[in-house]
Structures are given as structure tokens and as C-alpha cells.
Amino acid sequence: MSPKGHGEADWLPFPEALARVLERTPPLGSEAVPLAAARGRALAADVVSGVDQPPWDVSAMDGFAVRAGDVEGASEDAPVRLPVSGDVPAGAFPEGPLEPGAAVRVMTGAPVPEGATGVVRVEHTDGGDGGMVTFRSDEDARGNVRPAGEDLRRGRTVLTRGLEVTPAVVGVLATVGRREVEVGRIPRVGILATGDELARPDAFDEVLAGRKIADSNGPALAAAVAGAGAEPVPLGLARDEREDVRRRLERGAECDALVTTAGVSVGDRDLVREVLEDLGLEEVFWRVRIRPGSPFAFGLLPSARPVFALPGNPVSALVTFEVLVRPALRRMAGHARLERRRVPVELAEEVRGKADLTHFNRVRLEGRPGRPPLARLTGPQGSGILTSVAAADALLVVPEGTERLAAGAAAEAIPLDAWGPRPASGDA
Ligand code: AMP
Ligand code: MG
């Protein structure tokens, strides 16, 4: 039995449920990986630059380095001619400072000689010929020089711990000479579907014969776990029998977290919670004031391994995963940003809810220039209607305390478009 006794629901408001989950799901630790495998992972430590970037004042254009005073007033009608005293291709260095009254040819990315105030782009010259160059504009006389250290400075923290490794972060790491990077460890997440009415994919003839329904939660949650940047470990499909559930959960002993579906509703046999208690579960809470997905349980198995017991209804399983499990897996993986950035939307139609629940309605978003996107329900919102999630761009949040949002009202939505990064292996 749970400490609070079976049947006694906590009924936590959504924000409190999420806070309790995050309190108990600390980062797992870290490992070094090659840059090429780091995308989507979280930096486990701040990165301090050991270099200035650019290392010197470099030219942003192909052209001629000048002292502004030497080309002042140059125009089509009053061109200025100067001798070319040097040539600096990318990868080469100037031989010395720029002499007054002369110009030095420089290429993009090449160091600009000392004393130059700017680089006149080649298009504003005759290109230089016979040791001389003609300037037809002085527009760039003080431009086109990227000062040393404008991007990175030696000794400065250039990336902070918890940041997700994006292509740009990979670029910064490469700039400072990293070939490997310390990132948060990827949580391995055991996924168990339960239910006598369910058939595995290889038993689809049972579905065709009208005796079973397909297990959609197992595959959908494996995809959601992978999309959250974690590693799914399928534990199969358990019958509604204690022994079967227990045996399969024990197979997940090596996992960092467990996700189960079904068997946690009121009036159910509470099979999953019973077995978890047999395995030593410390239940942190059961039931949350959300729709869909209120019969959600969260607890810790011995060695502080988190267990998320999701409802069986396919919509409830995916929605509770999105709002309560995904942030926890990201925290375990070391990410600083746990939740997706919510977007302001305007409702295309009236949406009703129960005042004591936070609702997550499935919506499509229609972008409109200069105004928040218009959010339209994806049809009936029953928790068995999985296609309402498949068709959705976002979850519309109707917070607790709100019974009705009129058409045209402002609200917030959680965009689902990417469902997070793909794992580096791409095979999950
Ligand atoms: P339960 O939580 O066991 O009361 O299940 C609630 C509803 O979700 C029932 O209609 C189940 O048939 C359905 N369900 C439970 N598990 C799954 C699953 N893995 N895949 C698809 N539907 C499921
Ligand atoms: Mg069931």
C-alpha cells in the first residue's frame, strides 16, 4: 500500500505536480563524446575560450586596406589613386604596418595591416593594376574590419552548462579547439504497456479477428522518449497479472527511469501501482488536476529511480508524457531548458474547461503576419482519440480556474512540431 493508502488521491495542481517531479529527477552525470555525436545533448560544464576569435583584426571583404584620410572624398567624379604596397591573401600576414599614402590588397578573412582604418571593397575600385589602385568611393574607409575578439575572448565563458548542443554550439566548440565535449548522460527509459485487451504488433490478427486492440502506447511512448533526447528501452506488453507486470518491470532494472501505461485509474485494479509498491516504490503523488491524464502516478524505486505511471488512454499517455515526463527526462540529461517555450495564441473558437483542472487541448495553429497564430481544436477532444494528437501542432493550455475562453481570447500553447531532437544514432 502507498503511504497515503490506496484510493486517496493527491489531486495536485499541475504546476505543483511538475515541481515535485523535477525535485526528484536530478541530472544523471556526464560523459565525454566526440563533437559529431553531441548534437541535442546538454553541456555538462561551462566552456571557457582559450582563444580570441578572430585572433586579429580581419578583413570582412575582398578589397584594399587604407587609411581613411588617404581616400577621403573619393567618388566616381573624383577618383583617388594610390600605390599598392602589399598583398595579403587569406592565411597570409601583412609584412608590416600600412604606410601612409598606400593601400594593401587584402582578401576576406586576412589580417588587416596595422594602421589601416578600413577595407574598401574591390567593387569600389578598379581592382588594382600595375602597382596602382583607383578608388571610386570612400564609403568603406572606416568599415569592413572585424576587430580581434569580437566573437570570443580568451578566458571568457562562452557557453554555459545546461545549454543544448545545437549546430551553432558545435561551431563554437570547434572554434575553441574542442574535439570532444562533456555532456549529460542520456537517460535509458524502460517502457511497459499493460492490458489484457492489447495485442503486440506480431499478433495483429487478433485485432482483425475483433478480439484485441493494438498496443499504440508502447510504440508512441518509445518515439516520445527518443524525441525527448532519451533512449527508449521497450519492456514489452504485460498482461493484467501481477507476476507478468513484475517480471517485465524487473527487466528494466538497468534503466535510469521507468514509464508504464494503464492500470493506474480509479476503479481499476491498480495493478501497476500495486506491483510498484511490491518493488519498494516511494510514491510521491498520484493523480493530478489535469485533463487529459489525471490518473498519473509518480514515485521512486529503490536507488531513487523515477517511475512515471501514465494513464492508459492514448491521448492521456502522450499528453502526460509531454507535460510531466519530458521535462524530467531533460533534467536528468542535464538540460537547463526543460519545458518547451510556450507561444501566445488567439482562439478561433470557444473552449470550455472545468475550473478545477488544467486542460491541454489539441490544436492546429494558423500563422498570421503581425498577429499571434490562430488556434483551432483538432476536432473532438476525447482521451481515446489519438488522431486528435496526430493532427495537432500544439497543446492549448487552459489553466486551472478558467471555465471558458471565448473565441478571440488570448491563450498560451505548447508547440509540438519537433517533439525534440532525434538521437544521434537515429535508430530509435
Ligand atoms: P486503463 O488505463 O487500463 O483503464 O485504460 C484506459 C483506456 O486506454 C482503455 O480503453 C484501454 O484499452 C486503453 N489503453 C490502455 N493501454 C493502451 C495501450 N498500450 N495502447 C492503446 N490503448 C491502450
Ligand atoms: Mg486496463
Q: Rounded CA gap, 384 and 208, in Å?
A: 19
Which of helix, strand or coil describes residue 88? strand
Grid cell at residue 319: 499528453
pLDDT for 269: 65
Q: pLDDT band at 266, cuts 50/70/90? A: low
Q: Looking at residue 270, what is its pLDDT?
A: 77
* Residues framing ligand 1 (Cβ under 6 A): 193, 195, 197-198, 213, 215-218, 261-263, 265, 268, 311-314, 384
At 212, list the grid cell.
Answer: 484485441
- Rounded average pLDDT over 320-345: 97
pLDDT digits (tens, 9 = 90+) for 99-136: 999 999 999 999 999 999 999 999 999 999 999 999 99
Output the CA 240–ligand 1 centroid distance in Å.
11
**Identity at 99, one-letter amino acid code:** E
Q: How far is the CA of 241 from the centre of ligand 1 (A)?
A: 15
Lowest-confidence region among 176-185, 374-383, 397-406, 413-422: 413-422
- On whether the CB atoms of residues 355 and 400 are closer than 8 A, the answer is yes
Task: Report the pLDDT value the prediction gives residue 6, as an integer from 0 to 100.
Answer: 54
Q: Give the nearest ligand 1 atom to 263 CA.
A: 3
pLDDT of 328 > 80? The answer is: yes
Top mutation candidate among 192, 198, 260, 385 for ligand 1, by most atoms within 8 Å of CB: 198
Closest listed ligand to the CA of 267: 1
Q: Which helix (H) or strand (E) holds 251?
A: helix 242-251
State the pLDDT at residue 428: 35
CA of 215 to the centre of ligand 2 (A): 12
pLDDT value at 425 more than 50: no
Nearest CA to ligand 1 atom 23: 312
Q: Kindly give the distance from the C-alpha atom of residue 261 to the centroid of ligand 2, in angstroms, as a whole number.
A: 9
Predicted local distance difference test score (pLDDT) of residue 46: 98
- The pTM (predicted TM-score) of the whole model is 0.92
- Which bin fits 211, alpha (ψ -120 to 50), beta or left (φ > 0)? alpha
Give 326: exposed, middle or buried? Use CB within 10 Å, 0-12, 13-18, 19+: buried
Cα of 193 vs centre of ligand 1, distance in Å, is 9
C-alpha 343 – ligand 2 centre gap (Å): 35
Q: What span, in angstroms and rounded, lies between the C-alpha atoms of 369 and 353?
A: 29
Question: Which residues does 332 contact at the CB level (< 8 Å), separation at least 6?
Answer: 25, 26, 27, 28, 184, 187, 230, 256, 257, 306
What mean pLDDT comes out for the span 350-356? 96
**What confidence tens digit (pLDDT) does each residue in 412-423 have?**
999 996 544 444
Number of H helices, E strands in the chain: 10, 27
What SS3 state is found at 238? Answer: strand
Question: Is the torsion defined by CA of 228, 233, 236, 239 positive or negative?
Answer: negative
Rounded to whole angstroms, what are the CA distances from 184 to 44, 271, 332? Answer: 5, 34, 8
Q: Is the dihedral of CA 250, 252, 253, 256 positive or negative?
A: negative
Q: In the chain, what is the greatest distance between 2 CA atoms, to the nearest angstrom?
A: 94
Q: How many A from CA of 96 to the centre of ligand 2? A: 80
For residues 245 and 236, give the distance between their C-alpha atoms in angstroms, rounded to a whole number.
Answer: 10
Sign of CA dihedral 395, 399, 404, 407: negative
Q: What confidence tier does 401 reach under pLDDT thresholds 50, 70, 90?
A: very high
Atom of ligand 1 at shortest range from CA of 216? 20
Q: DSSP per residue over 322-333, as a string?
A: IIIIHHHHHHHT
Q: Which atom of ligand 1 is nearest to the CA of 218?
A: 19
Q: Atom of ligand 1 at shortest distance to CA of 240?
A: 3
Q: Provide the pLDDT for residue 264.
A: 84
Nearest alpha carbon, ligand 1 atom 15: 312
Distances (CA, A) of 390 to 227, 281, 315, 362, 423: 15, 33, 10, 9, 21
Q: Give the nearest ligand 1 atom to 237 CA.
A: 19
Could you tell me what percent of the chain has a pLDDT over 70? 95
Q: What is the DSSP letter of 19?
A: H
